[in-house]
Amino acid sequence: MSAPDLAGLFGVLLILIAYGGGVLGRLDAKRAPALLLNLVGALLILASLAYAPNISAIAMEGAWALVALFGLARLAAKR
């Protein structure tokens, strides 16, 4: 397995941790920990897609990263 594949899989794991944590009530999707997990996960997947591009996956992960970034910006603005 290549380094980009490992990075992408780790990104998927981070996003699943954030999602599962939200579903199980362990993480609040509007708070920094979940948003950071989603942002880093999406960026790792995007990095892996640079080696094997797939336009629909790039669009999905790009949107996922932007939503997480927007959420983090909102939190920062509240402080």
Amino acid at site 1: M
Residue indicated by tokens 């199980």: 24
Name, in order, each residue with C-beta under 8 angstroms of 69's C-beta and a sequence gap of 6 or more.
39
pTM, full prediction: 0.95
Return the pLDDT at 4.
Answer: 95
Bin 58: left if φ > 0, else alpha if -120 < ψ < 50, else beta.
alpha
Return the pLDDT at 51.
Answer: 95
Return the pLDDT at 11.
Answer: 98
pLDDT tens-place string over residues 33-47: 999 999 999 999 999
Return the pLDDT at 66.
Answer: 98
pLDDT along the chain (79 residues), means of 10: 96 98 97 98 98 97 98 96
Name, in order, each residue with C-beta under 8 angstroms of 22's C-beta and a sequence gap of 6 or more.
28, 29, 34
